[in-house]
Structure 1
Amino acid sequence: MSSINYSEKIPNNVNLADDRALQRALEQWQPNFLSWWGEMGPEGSHGYDVYLRTAVSVDAGGWAHFDYVKMPAYRWGIFLTPGEQDRKIHFGEHKGETAWHDVPGEHRANLRRIIVTQGDTEPASVEQQRHLGLTAPSLYDLRNLFQVNVEEGRHLWAMVYLLHRYFGRDGREEAEALLGRRSGDEDNPRILGAFNEQTPDWLAFYMFTYFTDRDGKFQLSALAESGFDPLARTTKFMLTEEAHHMFVGESGVSRVIQRTAQVMNELGTDDVAKLRAAGVIDLPTIQRYLNFHYSVTIDLFGADHSSNAATFYSSGLKGRYEEGKRDDDHRLNEHGYRLLDVQDGRLVEREVPMLNAMNEVLRDDYIKDSIAGVGRWNKVLEKAGIDFRMTVPHKAFNRQIGTFAGTRVSPDGRVLSEAEWAANEATWLATPQDRAFVASLMGRVAEPGKFANWIAPPAMGVNRQPVDFEYVRFN
């Protein structure tokens, strides 16, 4: 096997060229990664020239280099943000101690678990989205899909670097297992439930990148506080790319809503059948997609009452979102937090130690952030003079994890019987008929500057290029 040219093939700032042990590990792992990409990456795309952003360094001029790239030749680099001299751990029982540059033995298993769980989400989303390129509504959107895909691949490399560099044989075995699991596979599925769901159409993709990649923002932000300095520096750099993924989702849904509102005004109707006949996605269907993706995503934060979450925080492994901006002692031993519970058929609050509620603290921060973006979608409707408003369902709605698993709760927060849920489920969650209709609209639009009928063009192109730029060359 020929060795990898580390300065050319894997841009990095972790001194790969001089680390022979890490080189050997990656030389064994890289062919398996490329084999996985060939099998599970974007279908039919390997010969395309795609106008992609590639990170070649961490400085302002290097982290966003644009050029045409064939995706199998994309340079999946390994980058950590510059180190902070004498950085201290600023939360948990180790608060005030020097941040760790190697894995503390007592935290090894938990750190490996955190890194593997995060790493598993990255290839999973590529697998979920691998067929979408065949039905892209424009070259602009196709290019954005591929940008998300290659950056998820780079984020996988980021976690694999940590496993190879700091966890020895266990790390190498976990890195191989990340390529062995498959999204939705009955025998060897991805670790987290949302990453085993299908992403069968572009409305689902936009909802996924808005809601589920936003979970990524909050999880990475919490890990960027970690007392394990290589993990903190790695995830900080990943956040620069995650922002684009959320933009793809927020702007994508906004453009779908904009186009639907336009046709509603042209036809003077909100009749679902007439709007579907006109080839746009009616607003109630968009709301049902929203309800599904939001509820599936907030399950990703885990159980609302969790001893593992308490351990991760107290040990200095995983902080809160924007930990440094919080005005408390950053140990939280004497702090409480109010959780929702179900008693006698209604939702009530109960107070628990905040350390055990760290998943819920992060979930609540996520919910606030999600609601703000949905408000921006509503401004599109307001500007168009449409009365309909998108809403975020109650946090207990359609939950499969934690206190509310198995409890039927309406989008407005009422505890329901099974019969009430069954009578209303098709009003609240996308039905097979809804998904079949949306699927019927999907078809690739491959002419520069042209867009599918069900979505509005963007306000501007990528990297100051015009909207009708040839973002993908099919060759």
Structure 2
Amino acid sequence: MSSIDYTDKIPNNVDLSQDKALQRALEHWQPNYLQWWRDLGPEGSQSFDVYLRTAVSVDPQGWAQFGYVKMPEYRWGIFLNPREEGRQVNFGEHKGEAAWQDVPGEHRANLRRIIVTQGDTEPASVEQQRHLGLTAPSQYDLRNLFQVNVEEGRHLWAMVYLLHKHFGRDGREEADAMLQRHSGDADHPRILGAFNEKTPDWLSFYMFTYFTDRDGKFQLCALAESGFDPLARTTKFMLTEEAHHMFVGESGVSRVIARTCEVMNQLRTDDPAKVRAAGVIDLGTIQRYLNFHFSVTIDLFGADESSNAAIFYNAGLKGRFEETKRDDDHRLQGRTYKVLAVQDGQLVEREVSMLNALNEVLRDDFIKDSIAGVNRWNKVIEKAGLPFRLVAPHKAFNRKIGTLAGVRVSPDGRVVSEAEWAAHERQWLPGAEDRAFVASLMGRVVEPGKFANWIAPPVMGINRQPVDFEYVRFN
């Protein structure tokens, strides 16, 4: 079904009321989720009326409606794309077989691991961003933050439904554990490293939603190819919501750049100290933030060679980005792919089995997509008539996972000594001084149509509303 039933306690389009045991289990989990939201969701926002979109259908022609909602009353639910009759497994050893509606026993542990890892990222990002509302640069941006937050919460529900429905007691325990791990917690951290980093300021938030939510896009696209049909249908709808998160990031960074360029032209200077003195973020700092978030995010794809990636692909559990559009046999036996290694102090390429390099394949697809957005940011600088250009760093830069972990590589791809790294690290990555300066600019602006000095207004508002629309009502 495409329409969503909002009469149930848990909105859904999966006929939840027909499975009483599952319905009871999810309704038992729901209060724990709401308590987590109250404890670790957006700080101080419980009484606000926020102009949010809510899914009302999975029909791409009209899947959402907008209206004021108090966030603790947001109707989080379970939404799957319609089932595609005759769908088959499109890759791996099971290629050509009917897609699975139930978990194949031999793949149970791997499927559960995939779903838990994806699910764990969703509440983690809400936790990372929970304080940002206190320093929002405008109502427009505050509303966008809250929209991202409630949809990340909805994406947690998407994975929890799969765990409850298809994995029995194990699945229920995994769903409980996702509310017990917390971002940055010393004893119970989130599974993936990037989701234990702080998101202390809005430039970090925009970079996170541009780069790290883009990792989410590519991971979800790979899972949308899964031979396990409920997972594929779930992630396809998640991708519909994810697009807005990346828009928030790309447009946010673009607006920061536009305001900086405007001030640079007014002052006729590119001196970072003078630009900062005018209360905007200099382009060099933006580049360092870009370097950090890009490098942290590409680590999320995992080791460049991975037997798990090969197992997931062969089993038909996780495909490549746009798997069915690729012109090969979708089995990859005998195929190779180039990965990086260090030899005699230089980065070199070596051929390895493509099945073992599927993390690297997905990482390279992500990098290509990310660079396209960086080029769009450069158009803003170019239009302002300034010679500076942002550059995505080399994929070996600042890596913590895989063959390149701990290898000192400059943003332009040179292997460097510890001494050279130490001498240039503050030029390449944001330091305490950069973060303190950006933090000093963060002050809450809540009057409709007003914006902090360091960011330009958007070109248009949300859902055809004016930019000075009252996006948040502070009751």
Letter of the structure 1 residue corresponding to residue 406 of structure 2 = G
Aligned length in residues: 471
Question: 2:169: which partner in 1?
Answer: 169
Q: How far apart, CA to CA, are the structure 2 residues paired with 1:11 and 1:460? A: 31
Instruction: State the shift of 1:216 in Å.
Output: 0.2
- Verify the 8 A CA contact 2:122 2:152 in the aligned structure 1: yes
Match in the other structure for 2:416: 416
Separation in 2, partners of 1:247, 1:429: 24
Match in the other structure for 2:203: 203
Give the corresponding residue for 1:184. Answer: 184
Equivalent position SS for 2:179 = helix
Report SS of the residue matched to 1:82. coil
Q: How far did 1:18 drift?
A: 1.5
In 1: Cα distance, 2:149 partner to 2:311 partner: 33
| TM-score, length-scaled by structure 2 | 0.98
Q: Which moved more, 1:5-14 or 1:115-124?
A: 5-14
Residue equivalent to 1:135: 135
1:61-100 to 2 correspondences below 5 Å:
62-100=62-100
Partner of 1:337: 337
Percentage of matched positions with identical amino acids: 81
Provide the residue aligned with 1:288 in structure 2: 288
Counterpart of 2:19 in structure 1 is: 19
Matches of 2:198 and 2:204, distance apart in 1: 9
What are the ranges of 5 or more consecutive residues in structure 1 without an aligned counterpart? none
Q: Return 5+ residue gaps in structure 2 as ranges.
A: none
Is the contact made by 1:6 and 1:16 (CA closer than 8 Å) also made in structure 2? no
Matched, 1:373 2:370: no
Alignment of 1:203-222 (within 5 A): 203-222=203-222
When the two chains are superposed, the root-mean-square deviation of aligned CA atoms in Å is 0.8
Aligned to 1:428: 428
Query: Does structure 2 conserve the Cα–Cα contact (< 8 Å) formed by 1:258 and 1:456?
Result: yes
Contact 1:398 1:409 in 2 (8 A): yes
Q: Distance in 2 between matches of 1:61 and 1:129?
A: 31
Q: Take 1:69 and 1:237, find their aligned partners in 2: how far apart are those partners?
A: 22
Deviation by residue 1:298-334 (Cα, 9 ceiling, x = unmatched): 0000000000000000000000000011000000011
The answer to whether structure 1 residue 352 and structure 2 residue 352 are counterparts is yes
Measured after TM superposition, the shift of residue 59 of structure 1 is 1.7
- Structure 2 CA distance, aligned partners of 1:235 and 1:247? 19
Instruction: Supply the distance in 2 between the matched residues of 1:41 and 1:62 (Cα, whole angstroms).
Output: 28
Displacement, 1:56?
A: 1.8
* CA contact 2:10–2:27 (8 Å) conserved in 1: no
Which residue of the partner structure matches residue 42 of structure 1? 42
In structure 1, C-alpha distance between the alignment counterparts of 2:63 and 2:91, rounded to whole Å: 30
- Mapping 1:99-118, distance limit 5 Å: 99-118=99-118
**What is the deviation of 1:122?**
0.1
CA distance in 2, matches of 1:336, 1:61: 41
Q: CA deviation at 1:77?
A: 1.6
Corresponding residue for residue 405 of structure 1? 405
Q: Distance in 2 between matches of 1:354 and 1:143?
A: 43
**Which residue type is aligned with residue 68 of structure 1?**
Y
Q: Which amino acid aligns with 2:194?
A: A
Distance in 2 (CA, whole Å) between partners of 1:352 and 1:283 is 39
Q: Distance in 2 between matches of 1:474 and 1:413?
A: 49
Shift of 1:406: 1.1
CA, structure 1 residues 60+353, in 2 after alignment: closer, same or farther (shift >3 Å)? closer
Alignment of 1:264-275 (within 5 A): 264-275=264-275
Structure 1 residue 460, shift from structure 2 partner: 0.2
TM-score (norm 1): 0.98
Do the aligned partners of 1:12 and 1:57 also contact (CA within 8 Å) in 2? Answer: no
Is the contact made by 1:215 and 1:297 (CA closer than 8 Å) also made in structure 2? yes
Aligned equivalent of 1:239: 239
Given that 1:394 and 1:411 are in contact with CA atoms closer than 8 Å, whether structure 2 keeps it comes out as yes
Measured in 2, the distance between the counterparts of 1:275 and 1:369 equals 30
Q: Greater CA deviation, 22-31 or 371-380?
A: 22-31
Residue 8 (structure 1) shift: 4.5
Q: CA deviation at 1:10?
A: 2.6
Match of 1:311 in 2: 311
* 1:27 CA drift (Å): 1.5
Q: Secondary structure at the match of 1:408?
A: coil
- Provide the rounded CA distance (Å) in 2 between the counterparts of 1:270 and 1:245: 31
How far 1:6 sits from its partner (Å)? 6.2
How has the CA–CA distance of structure 1 residues 173 and 371 changed in structure 2, closer, same or farther, with 3 Å as cutoff? same
The answer to whether the Cα contact below 8 Å between 2:127 and 2:183 also exists between their aligned partners in 1 is yes
Task: Work out whether 1:30 is the aligned partner of 2:30.
Answer: yes
Q: State the 1:24 CA deviation.
A: 1.1
How far, CA to CA, are the matches of 1:354 and 1:286 in structure 2? 35
Structure 1 distance, partners of 2:18, 2:104, is 24
Query: How far did 1:60 drift?
Result: 3.8
Matched, 1:361 2:361: yes
Using the TM superposition, give the Cα deviation of residue 391 of structure 1 relative to its aligned residue in structure 2, in angstroms: 0.2
Is the contact between residue 210 and residue 249 of structure 1 (CA under 8 Å) also seen in structure 2?
Answer: yes
1:276-302, CA deviations, whole angstroms, 9 ceiling, x for partnerless residues?
110000000000000000000000000
Distance 1:337 1:69 in 2: 49
Q: Could you tell me how far apart the structure 1 residues matched to 2:455 and 2:303 are? A: 37
Deviation at 1:61, TM superposition (A): 5.7
Aligned partner letter, 1:313: Y
Q: Is the 8 A contact 2:280 2:454 kept in 1?
A: yes
Stretch of structure 1 that moved more, 16-25 or 39-48? 16-25
